[in-house]
Amino acid sequence: MKPFTYEKPRTPAEAAAATARHPGAKFIAGGTNLLDLMKLEIEAPGHLIDVNGLGFDQIEATPEGGLGIGALVRNTDLAADERVRRDYAVLSRALLAGASGQLRNAATTAGNLLQRTRCPYFYDTNQPCNKRQPGTGCGAIGGVNRQHAILGSSTACIATHPSDMAVAMRVLDATIQTVRADGATRRIPIADFYRLPGDTPNVENTLQPGELITHVTLPKPVGGAHVYYKVRDRSSYAFALVSVAAIVQRDGTGRVALGGVAHMPWRIEAAEAELPQGAKAVATKLLAGAKPTEHNAFKVPLVERTLAAALLEAKG
């Protein structure tokens, strides 16, 4: 690990001042992704700003009838919240399908959204990787790329976003609330939060340097049957090959988003119009323009089958 200095601010204003003083500083929340990467020197911030003293650890009803989730709410507590279990079950299910009990106790809402890819070439500092070191190339293209993206990838990067929670947040139309170093706040709809890799796979979202996530808000509940269906190499404690977050209403209409297939949760509203026609019709629209790699062509039929399984489960 590269040396760093450490501070734990008590207020968002202090945190903002700290980011202004230390360009290149990083926030640390649960630490379960950042420390992992710092040990490998994939991340090497010169200064760490511990956000665990800032509060933001409550889940509160919003005036609009939704839920405001503090950035520091632990994954365990979010999954177990009674309102989430009742009204946003897809979110509980996605959280519980990820990581382990120990990790969920430490992992936070903001940290989960911002966790970095699990591409093995990103993790191996002997390999070229445009995400880790822009301009060095992509080891996964032409390499072992079974876990990689089939949608929205570029000639620079074919990585996937590993978060299960983010897929549920996408299908729930969550909004990310932030405060910038200059104190200005903003709300970013999750549809505008993540970026495709393009030529700059190192830029993964629309946050600015030093911008702190304070809350993630959910709109008022939409009802329906909530399903998170995750396909992975073993039945627990593994990242998704393909996952489906679905909310299906009695009349067969609804929403779906895919995980494990792109650099961001993959949702195409036009595909959702096909939901009453069944999984095949939806999958065809979702997979338009799919570009599987040498080793992951299996993900294309797997998307349709996972969708079919999720829709069946939604019927109860």
Partner 1 sequence: MKNLHEPDQMRGDFELTRREFIVAGTAAVALTALPGVGRAQPAATTSQSALPLTKVSFNVNGKLRELELDSRTTLLDALREHLHLTGTKKGCDHGQCGACTVHIGERRMNSCLTLAVMQQGASVTTIEGLGTPENLHPMQAAFVKHDGYQCGYCTSGQICSAVAMLREIKAGIPCHVTSDLTARPQLTAAEIRERMSGNLCRCGAYANIVDAITEVGGKSA
Among partner 1, ligand FAD, ligand SF4, none, the one that 122 touches (CB under a kind-dependent 5 to 8 A) is ligand SF4
Size of the site for ligand FAD (CB under 6 A): 30
Q: Which of residues 164-183 bind ligand FAD (CB under 6 A)?
A: 164-165
Q: Give the Cα separation of 100 and 116 in Å (integer).
A: 17
One of 103, 196, 222, 268 touching ligand FAD (CB under 6 A): 103
Q: Is 29 left (phi over 0), alpha (psi -120 to 50) or beta?
A: alpha
283 to 75, 166, 265: CA distances (angstroms): 30, 20, 15
Is residue 239 within the footprint of ligand FAD (CB under 6 A)? yes
Q: Does 93 bind partner 1 (CB under 8 A)?
A: yes
Which listed residue (19, 32, 145, 160) binds ligand FAD by CB under 6 A? 32
6 forms beta bridges with 48
- Rounded distance, CA 129 to CA 138, Å? 5
**Shortest Å distance, C-beta 289 to ligand FAD:** 25
Strand partners, 216: 69, 176
Residue 77: helix, strand or coil by DSSP?
Answer: helix
Q: Which stretch binds ligand FAD (CB under 6 A): 160-168, 184-192, 242-250, 297-305?
A: 160-168
Task: Say whether residue 150 binds ligand SF4 (CB under 6 A).
Answer: no
Q: Is 165 in contact with 94 (CB distance < 8 Å)?
A: yes
Interface segment toward partner 1; rule CB under 8 A; list 98-106, 172-180, 249-257, 297-305: 98-106
Can you tell me the distance from the alpha carbon of 44 to that of 52, in angstroms, rounded to the nearest whole number? 20
How many angstroms separate the CA atoms of 242 and 213, rounded? 27
Report the nearest approach of ligand SF4 to the CB of residue 42 (Å). Answer: 10
Kindly report the number of other CB atoms within 10 A of residue 140's CB atom.
28
Instruction: Decide whether 49 or 283 has the Cβ nearer to partner 1.
Output: 49
Which of 245, 227, 210 minimizes the C-alpha distance to 312? 227
Among 10, 65, 192, 237, binds partner 1 (CB under 8 A): 237
Nearer Cβ to ligand FAD (34/157): 34
**Which residues lie across from 254 on neighbouring strands?**
248
CB count, 10 Å around CB of 22?
A: 18
Taken in order 150, 151, 157, 162, the sign of the CA dihedral is negative
Residue 162 interacting entry, from ligand SF4, partner 1, ligand FAD, none, C-beta within 5 to 8 Å by type? ligand FAD
If one asks whether residue 129 binds ligand SF4 (CB under 6 A), the answer comes out as yes
List residues near partner 1 by CB under 8 A.
1-6, 8, 28, 30-32, 35-36, 39-40, 48, 50, 52, 76, 79-80, 85-86, 89, 92-93, 96-97, 99-103, 105-106, 236-237
> Residues interacting with ligand SF4, by CB under 6 A?
117, 119, 121-122, 129-131, 138-140, 157-159, 201
